[in-house]
Amino acid sequence: MGEIHWADVVAKKLLERDNKHRIATGISPSGHIHMGNLREMLTADAIRRALIDANGEAEIIFIADTFDPLRRRYPFLPQEYENYVGMPLSEIPDPEGCHKNYSDHFLTPFLESLEILGIDVTLKKADEMYKEGKYNEAIKISFEKRKKIIEILREVTGRDVDDNWYPYMAICKKCGKMNTTKVVDYDDSWIYYECNCGYEGKASYNGGGKLTWRVDWAARWWILNISCEPFGKDHAAAGGSYDTGKRFAKEVFGIDPPFPVVYEWINLKGVGAMKSSKGIVIPVRDMVDVLPPEIVRYIIIKVKPERHIEFDPGISLLDLIDEFERALKLKDRAVELSMVKEVEYSDVSFRHLVIVGQIANWDVEKALEILQRTGYKIDEVVKKDVERRMSYAKKWLEKFAPDKIKFEVIKDVDKIKLEFNEKEREFLKSYANKLHKDMNPEKIHTLVYEVAKDVTIKPSKAFQAIYKAILGKTFGPRVGYFIKSLGIEWVKDRFYSIYEKN
């Protein structure tokens, strides 16, 4: 018996507290939402599924922090966005003009990804929650108990907090910024503030501003009745926002803080351009276009949240997919928690589809023919599975695979202008003479050595001649399987015509 999966461990602890759970996630849509952010959602989703599998009830509330201020002008933003720094994301125009506002621009593709990944969430946009008055009560409580809040902040963070401070950022009516204002007073209807721009005004409880992050976090636990929340390790540091949040929950809002699940970062490696230009990330939306959703889920779900993930979308991803396919046969729990819908896997590995797809020039019918020729039994499951996963294999190959595994069968023999010397021509002809359609891949492979010996050419040169004659380059997939896949007759014809032409 293997170790109990981490999500089942968390679910067990949660069920000891209650049978019904609301798991919160929160992401600030200030830029492309990347794989690191996805860990938050998938950690929550694995726990949700584990709770349901253990007969509990669970749902995920995804709070999009659309009311956070823009912290700085990110490298991907045009110069004029300098003017929007300090304004709430929901009140800033879409940098590309295609959505209602800045936050929707980054949030929309992420929501599509969640759908594809089978992560079912109830979405709450922070700006709408404030504007609809959902926070009004929490704001009033925070103001009434602000002495307590100040005391907790001082004790937990060691920060020097001014006695006149309010845990609230009003949006200045004149300059639109929320990080330049200071609350000076409040009554039942209004929050009074002064801004660095010189303006003095009053903000409405309904969306005139927002609670500062640490207090906002605890407030939403109370408002939304949250019982569990995964969050990044930065929030879990000593004196960090969970430490203050715990105390705000108890001492300000009178609730228990949610069960914390702290997760580590995901580092991206192996992709040339991304390595060199720091700050560039793979948006989740791009990732789910290239990889089957169950693989994207597995990358994250198989690893305990407290361990960091070194993510390499390049060649080593094939090892990870091999591992997934082996684990699938063993009914592994991480795989079970990663499957999105009723997809049936065939015996054809993803690694193999990368090769077959290239030989077949990504034509599904041809690929199935090749698989049949090389010993696979083709039924409806195989057909559906090959069609689905081969399209991912193609996209992965184009986007992330190194050139050394890419090839293309040259259809027109006249296009092979490479020079073949006398020995190579002799080898190709003798090899073609001995190739027989009943040979299996292993026999086809060993035949290279036998014929090379006969015509006294080095085996390495013999292999190169084969690749040159088919691909126009000196390397390719394993010869036995490759020739079998292409069809023995086709290969014989090719080698004879090279012999005659050169």
Q: Which residues bind Zn ion (CB under 5 A)?
A: 94, 96, 98-99, 105, 172, 174-175, 195, 197, 199
Where does 305-409 have alpha helices with state H? 317-329, 333-336, 350-359, 364-373, 380-400
In the chain, the largest separation of any two C-alpha atoms, in whole Å, equals: 99
Judged by beta carbon, residue 56 or residue 69, the one nearer Zn ion is 69
- Quote the least distance from Cβ 95 to Zn ion, whole Å: 7
Judged by beta carbon, residue 29 or residue 258, the one nearer Zn ion is 29
- Quote the least distance from Cβ 89 to Zn ion, whole Å: 13
DSSP string, 207-258: TSEEE-HHHHHHHHHHHHT--EEEEEHHHHSTTSHHHHHHHHHHHTS-SPPP
Judged by beta carbon, residue 92 or residue 444, the one nearer Zn ion is 92
- Quote the least distance from Cβ 109 to Zn ion, whole Å: 9
- Quote the least distance from Cβ 180 to Zn ion, whole Å: 6
Quote the tokens at residue 240: 């960090």
Judged by beta carbon, residue 96 or residue 115, the one nearer Zn ion is 96
φ, ψ for residue 335 (rounded to 5)? -70, -45
Taking the C-alpha atoms of residue 141 and residue 415, their distance in angstroms, rounded to an integer, is: 78
Judged by beta carbon, residue 283 or residue 313, the one nearer Zn ion is 283
- Quote the least distance from Cβ 184 to Zn ion, whole Å: 14
The separation between CA 477 and the C-alpha centre of its own chain, rounded to angstroms, equals: 29
- Quote the least distance from Cβ 195 to Zn ion, whole Å: 3
Taking the C-alpha atoms of residue 431 and residue 238, their distance in angstroms, rounded to an integer, is: 70
Judged by beta carbon, residue 184 or residue 197, the one nearer Zn ion is 197
- Quote the least distance from Cβ 172 to Zn ion, whole Å: 3
Query: Which residues sit opposite 26 in a β-bridge?
Result: 63
Amino acid at 320: L
Judged by beta carbon, residue 179 or residue 391, the one nearer Zn ion is 179
Taking the C-alpha atoms of residue 277 and residue 202, their distance in angstroms, rounded to an integer, is: 44
Judged by beta carbon, residue 56 or residue 207, the one nearer Zn ion is 207
- Quote the least distance from Cβ 177 to Zn ion, whole Å: 6
Three-state secondary-structure class, residue 192: strand
- Quote the least distance from Cβ 102 to Zn ion, whole Å: 8
Taking the C-alpha atoms of residue 145 and residue 203, their distance in angstroms, rounded to an integer, is: 19
Judged by beta carbon, residue 108 or residue 157, the one nearer Zn ion is 108
- Quote the least distance from Cβ 107 to Zn ion, whole Å: 10
Judged by beta carbon, residue 174 or residue 434, the one nearer Zn ion is 174
Judged by beta carbon, residue 95 or residue 305, the one nearer Zn ion is 95
Closest by Cα among 49, 43, 90 to 62: 43
Taking the C-alpha atoms of residue 471 and residue 474, their distance in angstroms, rounded to an integer, is: 8
* Burial of residue 78 (number of CB atoms within 10 Å: 0-12, 13-18, 19+): exposed
CB 492, CB 435: distance < 8 Å: yes
Taking the C-alpha atoms of residue 379 and residue 319, their distance in angstroms, rounded to an integer, is: 27
Quote the tokens at residue 18: 């209650």
Q: Which residue has the tokens 């952010």?
A: 37
- Quote the least distance from Cβ 32 to Zn ion, whole Å: 12
Taking the C-alpha atoms of residue 108 and residue 220, their distance in angstroms, rounded to an integer, is: 22
- Quote the least distance from Cβ 169 to Zn ion, whole Å: 12
Judged by beta carbon, residue 29 or residue 167, the one nearer Zn ion is 29
φ, ψ for residue 203 (rounded to 5)? -110, 145
- Quote the least distance from Cβ 293 to Zn ion, whole Å: 24
Three-state secondary-structure class, residue 310: strand
* CA distance to 344, 348, 438, 439, 441, per residue, from 375 (Å): 20, 11, 12, 12, 10
φ, ψ for residue 306 (rounded to 5)? -80, 0
Quote the tokens at residue 486: 């292409």
Judged by beta carbon, residue 179 or residue 225, the one nearer Zn ion is 179
Query: In the Cβ-directed half-sphere of 295, how many Cα atoms lie within 13 Å?
Result: 25
